[in-house]
Each structure stands twice: as structure tokens, then as C-alpha cells.
Amino acid sequence: MPRSTTAAAVLAATVLSLAGCSGDGGEDAARSSEPSAGTTTASSAGATAPPSASPSGEPPSPSPTPTSPPPATDAASASVTAPPSVSPSPVPTAGQRQKLVTMTVTGGFAGVQQEVVLRGDGTVRTSDKGDTEVRRSSAAQFTRLRTLLGDPALDDVPASTVDRGAADLFQYTLRFDGRTVVTDRSAERPALDRLIDALGKWLPA
């Protein structure tokens, strides 16, 4: 082979070798400029991902805030602390000689002097300035009067409630259950007032 041909072949091989090296370097540079998959995954894991939109395009609903349950009430203790209602019971009877209650009414402009007595057999004796009359109450009337006498609120009524500055008021004197109660009704006593009203219906007009 001539020497000139051999030199040309060596030169060509050298050029091709240099071209191949530069091409490999470009690919390596391109690879180094691209982020690695491991680096992307690590950075993504440390960041907070934005909420994903729903398929319809609406923003996701916020998570419900937990609320504390209301405190439980102790119904049993409430029922124990509530005061029980007490219904009056009719007072017992012991026959005709028993005077369950006696009410005397005096005073007023005309000088009233009246009395009504409820006996244990249901009879009612009334008197008006000496005139006496005896009548018999019905079963309902008798039970009603005895129930009014059995009202526990009567235990709280004082022995005397009289306005000394009012001379023209009627004065009511009641004797029952071993007690004597005097009032002119100037002070409000519901249990006593109900009893006076019921007995007053038997007095002469």
C-alpha cells in the first residue's frame, strides 16, 4: 500500500474517534441537566400537596370540625331534687259530736254576730244573732270541706293576722285541729281564705 494512502486512513480513523467521544459527552451533559427521578420524589414528599379538585371542578369540601358532645344530664338526680307535690287529704271524722271546725264572724258596720259549725256526721249548724239552723251537707260538699281542713298549708298560718288600724273589717275566728286562728283577711292566706269562703256559703245572707 502506498504511504500516502496509509496516512489518509489513519487521519480518517482519528477524526471518527474524536467525533464519537464528543457525541458521548453531549449525551452525558444532557442526562446531567435532567432531574433524577429519586430527587423529584424526595422533594415532592417533603412538600404539602395542594388539594385536588373534584371531577366536577368544584373545590373539595372542608373536613368537618369535631365537636364535643353535650354534657349528659342526670335525670334521676333531677327527679330526686324536685319537691314532690302534696295533695291535701280529707280529715277523718268521728260522728255527730265531733266539731271539725267552728267559724265565728263578728264586726263590720252592722255589728255582725254569726257562727257556722261543721260536725263529723256532715251536718252544718249555723246561728245568726241567736237564730239557729241545722242543715246537712251533700257528700261532695262534706268531702270538699274536709279536704280544705286537711290542707298542709294551714300549718303555716299564724294564730293572728289582724290590722289594728282597720276597725270596720270583719273578724273571723276559726277553731280546728286544736288550734284557734284569728284573721280579718287583711293579709293574704290562700289556704285559710279558701276555707273561710267555703264555710261562709252556709251563713245566712
Output the tens digit of pLDDT for each of the chain's 205 residues. Answer: 444 455 555 555 554 555 454 444 444 444 444 444 444 443 344 444 444 444 445 555 555 555 555 555 554 444 445 445 568 899 999 888 899 999 999 988 778 999 999 999 999 999 998 899 999 999 999 999 999 999 999 999 999 999 988 878 999 999 999 999 999 999 999 999 999 999 999 998 7
Domain definitions of the chain by residue range: 95-200
Alpha-carbon distance of 45 to 47, in angstroms, equals: 6
122 φ/ψ sector (left φ>0, alpha ψ -120 to 50, else beta): left
Please state the φ and ψ torsions of residue 124, each to the nearest 5 degrees.
-125, 120
Residue type, 52: S
Residue 121 near residue 134, CB atoms below 8 Å: no
pLDDT digits (tens, 9 = 90+) for 150-170: 999 999 999 999 998 887 899
Q: Biggest alpha carbon distance in the chain?
A: 179
**How crowded is the C-beta side of 134, counted as CA atoms within 13 Å?**
5
* Residue 30 · residue 21 · CB < 8 Å: no
Report the amino acid identity of residue 190. Answer: P
The position carrying cell 263590720 is 108
SS3 per residue for the chain? CCHHHHHHHHHHHHHHHHHHHHHHHHHHHHHHHCCCHHHHHHHHHHCCCCCCCCCCCCCCCCCCCCCCCCCCCCHHHHHHHCCCCCCCCCCCCCEEEEEEEEEEEEECCCCEEEEEEEEECCEEEEEECCEEEEEECCHHHHHHHHHHHCCHHHHHCCCEECCCCCCCCEEEEEEECCEEEEECCCCCCHHHHHHHHHHHCCCCC
pLDDT in tens, 48-67: 444 444 444 555 555 555 55
Q: What is the pTM of this model?
A: 0.59
> Residue 63: its pLDDT value, please?
55
Q: Which residue has the cell 261532695?
A: 140
